[in-house]
Amino acid sequence: MKTYDSIGVQIPQILLPRPGIDLHKWAVIACDQFTSQPDYWRQVEAIVGEAPSTLNLILPEVYLEQPDVAERIRRIQNHMRQYLAEGIFESSEGLIYVERTVAGHTRKGLVLALDLERYDYNKGSTSLIRATEGTIVERIPPRVKIRDGAAIELPHILVLIDDPQRTVIEPIAAAKQRLMPRYDFDLMLDSGHLAGYLLPADLEQQAIQALEALARPQVFAAKYGVAPDLPVLLFAMGDGNHSLATAKAYWEKIKPQVGMSHPARYALVEIENVHDEALVFEPIHRVLFGLRSDLLAALQAHFGANYTFTPLPDAATMTARVEQAGGPRQTIGLILETGFGLVEIANPSSNLPVGTLQAFLDAFLKSGGAEKIDYVHGADVVTQLGRQRGNAGFYVPAMDKSDLFKTVILDGALPRKTFSMGEAREKRFYMECRKIVAA
């Protein structure tokens, strides 16, 4: 397989379901979605039934704390070996151009493999491939248990490039009639349509050369107005930060035993251009479950004179006030069993409202103020969960996607769960696979 060390890219050997497999049942949404909505995953199970499916190759995180998790992992790894042995897959080497149409918009991406030697998720990283938000290291070990012993990987990882001139992915889209179709079908449960195409050699090389051009130090320095010796950031995490961190942790664990040419050195991802008009940064809202202490009193105590709370009549007023907010005070919506309100913070500790809020939530949870927290997409979901007895929801504003790369370059990783690339149903579905064991 071809590798391009200067940009940390490998042309992967892609595994896709052979003809005759029902792709509507094969592809399921990222495992870290609908973690507080088990009904969604029950619907997926009903749709899939006994058919070959990526549902059998992943562990939906809604089940991560269930007592049978070890047995679930064992079944996942058995299914991987079974699918390989039964000839479920067809293999081809190359880059896959992907189009995902949902809610009337089509996002464009390119599936390739990234070199985990060029990735560092730790705070202060200056690697070519970087996390865009804080990595919760406690979330990695349970995921390593799945990857350790897994025969294949299948990504829901979306990685961003900052390509304002649209030199990498968009020329491929313009030449789509020259590509080899590999799949084209409707996704389950109102998540749109997915199509994938294998690139010919000349377009593959064109994409690689465009990535190499973006990674030139002089181009990087001029784009961001930084010193020419500042390390280049080419790939920034979009979705699936903890999945890529898990692949990295597993690689570091086995590297001394397997050597540097092992397939687990690389991770399969889809890259997208942050300037794609169909790509929208959605906020990730917070829900506290099992409140044990007075939340409003805790907010007042934490922020002191900088804190103001204003009751509001309904959810629509709350979301409108948050989205229209401006000025130096940061504004966050609050959803309680008793109603809605607006939290305003003066002299905030973070540049982003979500960062200021997260600092409070971390301290509140540490002190035992609530049983647990979840991170959810959509105003309807945070409202529904926040209004339930013993819960509270926080509605946060979205960040401007054009600020992402420069913020990470200058300030480091953002607070965790700062943004989401689309709503929950728009998340990446598992489709392509890749072997991560030596032949």
Is residue 181 located within the same domain as residue 266? Answer: yes
Write the pLDDT tens digit of every residue in 250-305. 999 999 999 999 999 999 999 999 999 999 998 999 999 999 999 999 999 999 99
Is residue 302 located within the same domain as residue 274? Answer: no
In a domain, 411, yes or no: no
Is residue 78 located within the same domain as residue 208? Answer: yes
Of the chain, the end-to-end C-alpha distance in Å amounts to 13
Q: What's the CA angle centered on 25, arms 95 and 64, to 5 degrees?
A: 90
The predicted pLDDT at position 103 comes to 87
Q: Pick the range with the lowest mean pLDDT from 50-64, 127-141, 282-296.
A: 127-141
How many structural domains comprise the chain? 2
Is residue 210 located within the same domain as residue 296? Answer: no
Write the pLDDT tens digit of every residue in 316-346. 999 999 999 988 999 999 999 999 999 999 9
Is residue 198 located within the same domain as residue 314? Answer: no
Q: Pick the range with the lowest mean pLDDT from 19-23, 62-66, 135-139.
A: 135-139
Q: What percent of the chain has pLDDT over 90?
A: 86
In a domain, 431, yes or no: yes
The answer to whether 309 touches 197, Cβ cutoff 8 Å, is: no
The answer to whether 285 touches 315, Cβ cutoff 8 Å, is: no
Is residue 257 located within the same domain as residue 289? Answer: no
In a domain, 157, yes or no: yes
Which domain range does residue 157 map to? Answer: 3-280+421-435
| Mean of all residue pLDDT scores within the chain | 95
Is residue 160 located within the same domain as residue 306? Answer: no
Q: What percent of the chain has pLDDT over 70?
A: 100
Structure tokens at 275: 């300037």
